[in-house]
Amino acid sequence: MMTATTRQSLPVASRKQPKQARSNHLVAAVLDAAVQVLTSEGAQRLTTARVAERAGVSVGSLYQYFPNKAAILFRLQSDEWRRTTALLCGILQDGSVPPLARLRALVHAFIQSECEEAPIRGALNDAAPLYRDAPEAAEARASGRHVFDSFLQEALPRADMGTRSLAADLVRTTLSQVGSSFSETPRTAPEIAAYADALADMLCAYLQGLMARDQAAATAP
């Protein structure tokens, strides 16, 4: 049985970064093959040998860049985290758009992304015990939290840290849990739009209430 200590000791960082076109192609082929194995057979049946065979490369070539299956899975997960963080940054850091409009746009973009990437995300969730305790995983998750914290500091400039922290946690958790649950079933474009609208209404109403309290505190004698 894999213990917490075992999980923490697994190296999940890539052994080296590809610098030449051929190396980039090999890494891309390995990651694409890993996605295929994950979505068709699941995380438990993913092995370095199976991925190498699907990618058409030798296991030795794979090991030049990924020391084990946990490193492959973490690379796929970290790429997904980077895409999500880029999505958050692109929407929440746009100061030309009012905060409530930014939050609404984020909800729509996030739910759409969840539905598009549901198969691979579900498989990665099953594999999470292999890398979730790694320092690299904590660092990747922290970057997403920082984006939310900065957004709420702008939207609620007079709120105390506890209020902003609670709001950030509630919005992040709601998006993650609701998006994951909703995307488990294939959805049509109208279904996605209607669901995102309803979720955005709920979260925007919550933030609007906090903003009203924040503004009242500014005008209080």
Mean pLDDT, rounded, for 95-109: 96
> In the predicted model, is pLDDT for residue 148 greater than 80?
yes
44-73 pLDDT, tens digit per residue, is 888 999 999 999 999 999 999 998 888 888
User: What pLDDT score does 7 carry?
Assistant: 42
Mean pLDDT, rounded, for 74-96: 86
Q: Would you place residue 216 in the very low, low, confident or very high pLDDT band (cuts 50, 70, 90)?
A: confident
For 87, residues 6+ apart whose C-beta sits below 8 A from its C-beta are: 106, 109, 110, 113
Ranking 6-10, 80-84, 95-99, 129-133 by mean pLDDT, the lowest is: 6-10
Mean pLDDT, rounded, for 173-190: 92
4-43 pLDDT, tens digit per residue, is 434 444 555 555 555 566 788 999 999 999 999 988 888 7
Q: Would you place residue 137 in the very low, low, confident or very high pLDDT band (cuts 50, 70, 90)?
A: low
User: What pLDDT score does 107 carry?
Assistant: 96
Burial of 220 (0-12, 13-18, 19+ CB in 10 A): exposed
* Interatomic CA distance for residues 131 and 137, integer angstroms: 7
> In the predicted model, is pLDDT for residue 112 greater than 90?
yes
> In the predicted model, is pLDDT for residue 76 greater than 80?
yes
Per the prediction, the chain carries an average pLDDT of 84
195-207 pLDDT, tens digit per residue, is 999 999 999 999 9
User: What pLDDT score does 13 carry?
Assistant: 53
DSSP secondary structure string, 9-49?
A: HS--S-SS---SHHHHHHHHHHHHHHHHHHHHH-GGG--HH
